[in-house]
Amino acid sequence: MEMNENQVEAIVRQVLNNLSGTSAAGSSASKEIPKTAHVAMLTSLENFEIKEFPMPKVGDDDLLVKVEGCGICGTDAHEFKRDPFSLIPVALGHEGTGEIVKMGKNVKVDSAGKPVKVGDKVVTCMIFKDNPDITMYDLNKQNVGGADVYGLLPDDDVHLNGWFADYILIRGSLGSTFFNVSDLDLDSRILIEPCAVLIHAVERAKSTGILRFNSKVVVQGCGPIGLICIAVLKTMGIQNIIAVDGNEGRLEFAKRLGASGSVNFKDYNGAEAMAEGIAAQFGGQLADFAFQCTGSPVGHSNIYKFIRNGGGLCELGFFINGGDATINPHFDICSKEITTVGSWVYTLRDYATTFDFLKSAQEIGLPIKELITDKYPLSQINEAYRKNLAMTGLKIAVIPD
């Protein structure tokens, strides 16, 4: 059968569409965007419902992203159990990543100035609508604790506000920040947000002038945050790291991520005995620096006992109010002249630095991606949260069905 010129052109155009997922005329819209999106909406305590909403309009400054995966954070678990931020009903999920399927005409680069296009993989950082002065290279090194984040936004008429969904709308009008991370695999991208927390904490620790290559370091708490802390320290070249936890499986994984030794607090009667156990592994000396990652007031009270005179401490375990801790200011701080820094979330610059950390960790053979122990489909998100609360895994991820 002979074909005329118009028929040939139509076939070529269809082939190009199939190969690229965009129109041959260069439209930024994917050819198979559905008319509705599914969102896991927390509608009451410990109960997600999968809701279906119309696909929103993509504005000139917006990105529509098809979600590929999102980790469950400790903050998500608090919201699931207690709704401490009074957000219900809410679309949760802030450790997410996905692929751009449609973008507004004004979107050319990400928050670091890197070009973006349909098909690129992205992660979101913070929303700076209340503090537009924060920039990528903020000279005041201000953290983003006062900003908003996708996954902890009040529900609105868009609904696609969290990464526990099959699509999310990143809106320029909110002051959103995002990064092109197409050079990282999916599991690495899911780990970016929690890793950024530790990049920031270690930068805070370095500001004391005490944390150095030859420092003896204690990391207390071997959940995902403490384990990532150990990996970050190892990539910096720190060799003497003691992990403290009550779970032998997590302590063994801590050694695979760079810890040189471990202390199981269940084997010791009180903080003084634990301090002796730590000192024994440091050649009779206490730690030069300690990271407190448990979120436990008792953990905070104990950590001072593990630090030498003139040493340093970074407290990063209390993202929400976990209660008061009891210390003795004379013995714990003044007489020992302990230098203490607090750490909470991260700066934009820390977020970008995290990409290099993840690459470095893999290059030196740290099994950082094994932090993701379980993956659940979006339809089983309630089960995923219960797995997280049971603490029988490490990082639990939700992958769209």
Average pLDDT, the chain: 91
Question: Which SS3 state, helix, strand or coil, does residue 181 take?
Answer: coil
Q: Tell the CATH topology of 17-189+369-399.
A: Quinone Oxidoreductase; Chain A, domain 1 (3.90.180)
Tokens of 226: 């403490």
What percent of the chain shows pLDDT beyond 70?
91
Class of domain 196-342 as given by CATH: alpha beta
Give me the residue spans of the domains in the chain: 17-189+369-399, 196-342
* 47-83 per-position pLDDT tens digit: 999 999 999 999 999 999 999 999 999 999 999 999 9
Q: Which of 24-38, 199-213, 243-257 has the lowest mean pLDDT?
A: 24-38
What's the whole-number mean pLDDT along residues 154-171? 97
Rounded Cα–Cα distance for residues 358 and 179 (Å): 15
Tokens of 246: 């009550």
* 229-283 per-position pLDDT tens digit: 999 999 999 999 999 999 999 999 999 999 999 999 999 999 999 999 999 999 9
What percent of the chain shows pLDDT beyond 90?
82
Asked whether residue 7 carries a pLDDT value surpassing 80, the answer given is no
